Amino acid sequence: MCRLVFVLLFIHFHRTRVKNMFYHAYNGYLQYAYPFDELKPISCKGMDTWGSFALTLVDSLDTLVVLGNMSEFRRVSELVLSKIDVNANVNVSVFETNIRVIGGLLSAHMLSKMGGLTVEDGWPCSGPFLRLAERLAWKLLPAFNTDTGMPYGTINLRYGVHRKETPVTCTAGVGTFLLEFGALSRLTGNDFFEKIALKALEELWLHRSNLGMVGNHIDVKTGQWTAVDSGIGAGVDSYFEYLVKGGALFSHVRLLKQFKAYKAVIDKYMKHDDWFFWVSSYSGKVSMPVFQSLEAFWPGLLTLVGNIEEARRIMVNYYSVLRNYGFLPEFFNIPQMDPVHKRSGYPLRPGNLVYLYRATEDPLLLQIGAEMIEAIDHATKAKCGYATVHNVATHSLEDRMESFFLAETTKYLYLLFDPDNFLHNSGEEGTMISGPFGNCVINSGGYVYNTEAHPLDPSILYCCSSKRQKEFQTLAYLEDKLDVISLLDIRNEPTVKHPVETEAFQVLTTVKNDK
């Protein structure tokens, strides 16, 4: 009994602490940085980084709902809808705009009703957040107008791709669109977005090396790899993530098979004692024996595909670095067991322990989460928010707080210590709504997080999907055209049991009496 009370108090304490961390950073952003993209937490100023979207606010919308602050979600929703100008003369990252802005808008759209917004007729298949996300996606589409169908990395929202824009894009910048574009297609009924994302994924698959690997950067016009190092970290990471999550969310089985093939190659050439080195994609020889903090997603991804014990072992390796420095450095030299010079920072990246903890309930994962919270709150807290760690060895700081601190880091830590959160719903409950294609159930669990931790509700996607529309049209046709009474041969006559039914009843009665 005492142990149970201690565990409950431990969980409550850290959940409250994460919430306080979120609001310290969130309020600091609103007070000192809005409408700029990011907060400079030491000097208490704002700056635009990824396109002047009020990015930190967009990234925070669904976290407000996760924390249960529906009144603030309603208040700032209007700020977001009025702030974003999809026709601005600004150069933006196609990748970052997709995962942060379109992903954030789609999640806010799906959580609108739960967040207390008055939704319009036709929701969840229409709504202001959805329309804004769709308009922004159309602005990104010219980037995909290449011979290969793989996108440029940068685009101007007003004028499109500059004629001198480099065609070199990282692998993740090509393969991280399916969740958002697929969701847009299912919600709007326009399958063009999903097809565009699938085409880009297919091109990466077709351009694998002779060993079955992908490089780090590719020329989207020619399909030639310009950086042939292969790994699971920076520049590649979310490509693998979207093969699994996109394959599962949209039932694209071939994507799951592709991930399985990649994993076999990764285990053969890159894996060394549950660490992962960078190797040449053509020879398989080790080119860089380092761990990157962006690889911290891998145990969670393995958990999703059922490789639980392997995920545990890898997480223990990562924890050994965390315990020594308090944070995971951007690059960590494994043979020397030391952060790499000039790549030893920690930009407040998330360490998603949620998947593995939900699968195992291993208390060690709660301990790791608690240590992460302590390190962030103790070493990075600044006057107006939380600052990037410049060097994990000295804990020196930089005057920057990326928007993903509020979208991912605090959200995942909060969910780790909030076992009853609606996002953990395992399908035991849901909400019946009347949608444009008849009644359907939403909020029924199985949420899929994009790579910026914006949750997507698969039940809402189904409610608006073409499959659901066809089912609705078929039912309407049947109700209109068929005489169900005559079809079932139901008459206003006394019920007469069929001889076979009578015989079966007698047999069952005999068996029961014999007992």
Q: Tell me how far apart the alpha carbons of residues 265 and 507 are, in angstroms, rounded to a whole number.
A: 60
Q: Tell me how far apart the alpha carbons of residues 17 and 11 are, in angstroms, rounded to a whole number.
A: 10
Q: What tokens appear for 124 in the block?
A: 């969840």
Asked whether the CA dihedral 12, 14, 20, 23 is positive or negative, the reply is negative
Per-residue confidence (pLDDT) for residue 512, from 0 to 100: 38
Q: Tell me how far apart the alpha carbons of residues 380 and 382 are, in angstroms, rounded to a whole number.
A: 6
Per-residue confidence (pLDDT) for residue 1, from 0 to 100: 76
Q: How many CA atoms lie within 13 A of 68 on its CB side?
A: 9
Per-residue confidence (pLDDT) for residue 2, from 0 to 100: 81
Q: Tell me how far apart the alpha carbons of residues 62 and 48 are, in angstroms, rounded to a whole number.
A: 21
Q: Tell me how far apart the alpha carbons of residues 125 and 173 are, in angstroms, rounded to a whole number.
A: 28
Q: How does strand 455-456 pair with strand 431-435?
A: unpaired
Structural domains of the chain ordered from first start? 1-421 (1.50.10.10)
pLDDT digits (tens, 9 = 90+) for 227-285: 999 999 999 999 999 999 999 999 999 999 999 999 999 999 999 999 999 999 999 99
The structure's pTM equals 0.91
Per-residue confidence (pLDDT) for residue 265, from 0 to 100: 98
Strand partners, 230: 279
Per-residue confidence (pLDDT) for residue 500, from 0 to 100: 37
| Spatial CA neighbour of 187 closest among 419, 511, 468 | 468
Per-residue confidence (pLDDT) for residue 365, from 0 to 100: 97
* DSSP code string of 66-124: HTT-HHHHHHHHHHHHHH--TT-S-EEEHHHIIIIIIHHHHHHHHTTTTTT--PPTTTT
* Element at 297 (helix H, strand E): none
Strand partners, 438: 435, 436
Per-residue confidence (pLDDT) for residue 475, from 0 to 100: 56
Q: Compute CA 25 distance to the chain's CA centroid, rounded to the nearest angstrom.
A: 22
Low-confidence ranges of the chain (pLDDT < 70): 466-515
Q: Tell me how far apart the alpha carbons of residues 504 and 94 are, in angstroms, rounded to a whole number.
A: 67
Q: What tokens appear for 121 in the block?
A: 């007729």
Q: Tell me how far apart the alpha carbons of residues 332 and 130 are, in angstroms, rounded to a whole number.
A: 41
Per-residue confidence (pLDDT) for residue 508, from 0 to 100: 35
Per-residue confidence (pLDDT) for residue 5, from 0 to 100: 85
Phi–psi pair at 288, nearest 5 degrees: -155, 105
Per-residue confidence (pLDDT) for residue 435, from 0 to 100: 86
Q: Please name the residue that has the structure tokens 């990104």.
A: 140
Per-residue confidence (pLDDT) for residue 503, from 0 to 100: 38
Annotated binding residue 118: no
Q: How does strand 229-230 pair with strand 271-272?
A: unpaired
Phi–psi pair at 128, nearest 5 degrees: -65, -40
